[in-house]
Structure 1
Amino acid sequence: MPRQQQPAARPVRRRSYDQFCAAARALDSVGDRWTLLIVRELLAGPRRYTDLHADLPGVSTDVLASRLKDMEQSGLAVRRRLPPPAAASVYELTERGHGLLPVLAALAEWGAPALTERRPTDAVRAHWYALPLLRALDGLTHSGVVEVHLDEGEFHVRAGAGAGAGAGAGGAGGDVYGYGPADRPDARIRLAAELCPALGRGEVTFNEAVKDGRIEVTGEGPLAAELRGE
């Protein structure tokens, strides 16, 4: 008896608000749980799936895979294969994905008052403090890479010349922050993690925190000098 041919599987249609509104269309792409937090991770540069899963505590492997697939279909991210000897696949943001930087920065600013104290169940990663710190560094005359040292770890940010969280281009020309120490930083700063949200909220300025000793700045060159207030 001939085998009955199975009907071709239909592509699953993503959920939509079906509203002719720019905000609704945007939420069609990034309104699902975890999507914007994946963007937060990829703003620091290309990442392997396993690294994303490690830095997104609480997300299941199925949900993470589904969100990444949705982001590829929406043109927010792409997956590419690294050349040997790495032989691994990474996800990275497209130019459209990078354009979410000011959106995420504004959302972080809006949510900052809720960070009154860390709950026992709250996870933390050092690079999660990059967004408020970028806001505090916005408007610098000199540009360059600042290596940030917290007790929780290290990361680096690109500061000055429109590289901060308020940049309208969203850092499409390059990653606005990255994991770990920088190869050749223009300046290094050391501070307590709890100071970063206060800097982002404008409760204290970067210069004030340098003067009262809460931020230590080291390095040579014009950027380091400007951060020291020289």
Structure 2
Amino acid sequence: MSRLRRMPRRRSYDQYCAAARALDAVGDRWTLLIVRELLAGPRRYTDLHADLPGVSTDVLASRLKDMERDELATRRRLPPPAAAYVYELTERGRGLLPVLTALARWGAPALDERRPTDAVRAHWFAVPLLPVLDGLLSGPAGDVQERGVVEVRLDEGAFHVRLGADGPVYGDGPAQSPDARLVLDADTCRALSEGALTVGEGVRKGRIEVSGEGVLAKVLRGE
């Protein structure tokens, strides 16, 4: 008679509280940052490790297994010729986007000084910027009225955000055919995310350059 394989029970706060239950699943170090990376879409283990400087291979592998067990992420094999395994978020995992955007807004003031030891990737600015851009395009009910892709160029590199998207909400690197392009620096991006500056103010003050001729670019320019 075969024995069912049991996954080890993870540590729990053992509290009948929604916040405690959430922290049971995502409260471990690195878990939410893995979610941040997977919001860009399916990623290989090596790509995740490269964009999570400081995480050990053992810890990353352990967190990914925990996320699979808690149904936050899945692992699948890409078809040939790639034949590689990738991790991607489940619907429940993608539901953590508002959590991350709230954390990013709360933590933005702590970015007033970049430490010499700080690693940086351009796409890390995508999550805090998303609600800012979505807010410009949302109707009275909060739904996004205009959908499209905005490419963002910083000194640190480029990324793109997909406004109104049902799947991955951002991507690393330039977009293939963006509906609008923003050029700004990291300090301006931080000011936008913490609410100290609006996109319109940034454009008028020359801190943000918007290019593109479509509806999305015109909204971002305030036209």
- What is residue 142 of structure 2 aligned with on the other side? none
- What is residue 155 of structure 2 aligned with on the other side? 151
Which aligned runs of 4 or more in structure 1 are off by greater than 2 angstroms? 8-12, 138-143
Task: Pick the structure with greater CA Rg.
Answer: 1
Let me know the Cα RMSD of the aligned residues. Answer: 1.6
What are the ranges of 5 or more consecutive residues in structure 1 without an aligned counterpart?
1-7, 164-170
Percent identical pairs in the alignment equals: 76
- Corresponding letter in the other structure for 1:184: S
Residue pairs, 1:96-107, within 5 angstroms: 96-107=92-103
Q: Distance in 1 between matches of 2:171 and 2:6?
A: 39
Which segment is superposed worse, 89-98 or 186-195? 186-195
Provide Cα deviations, 1:81-129, integer angstroms capped at 9, x if missing partner. 1111111111000000000000111111111121120000000000011
Is it true that 1:18 corresponds to 2:14 in the alignment?
Answer: yes
Any idea what SS the aligned residue of 1:194 has?
A: helix
Is it true that 1:114 corresponds to 2:134 in the alignment?
Answer: no
What are the ranges of 5 or more consecutive residues in structure 2 without an aligned counterpart?
138-145
Q: Displacement, 1:177?
A: 0.9
1:90/1:116 CA distance change after superposition, 3 Å:
same
Is it true that 1:36 corresponds to 2:32 in the alignment?
Answer: yes
- What is residue 83 of structure 1 aligned with on the other side? 79
Provide Cα deviations, 1:123-169, integer angstroms capped at 9, x if missing partner. 0000011122112212233221001111111110023xxx3xxxxxx
- Corresponding letter in the other structure for 1:221: G
Pairs aligned (count): 213
Contact 2:36 2:127 in 1 (8 A): no
- What is residue 132 of structure 2 aligned with on the other side? 136
TM-score in terms of structure 1 length: 0.88
Any idea what SS the aligned residue of 2:186 has?
A: coil
Q: Distance in 2 between matches of 1:91 and 1:11?
A: 19
1:12/1:188 CA distance change after superposition, 3 Å:
same
TM-score in terms of structure 2 length: 0.91
Q: Distance in 1 between matches of 2:191 and 2:132?
A: 9
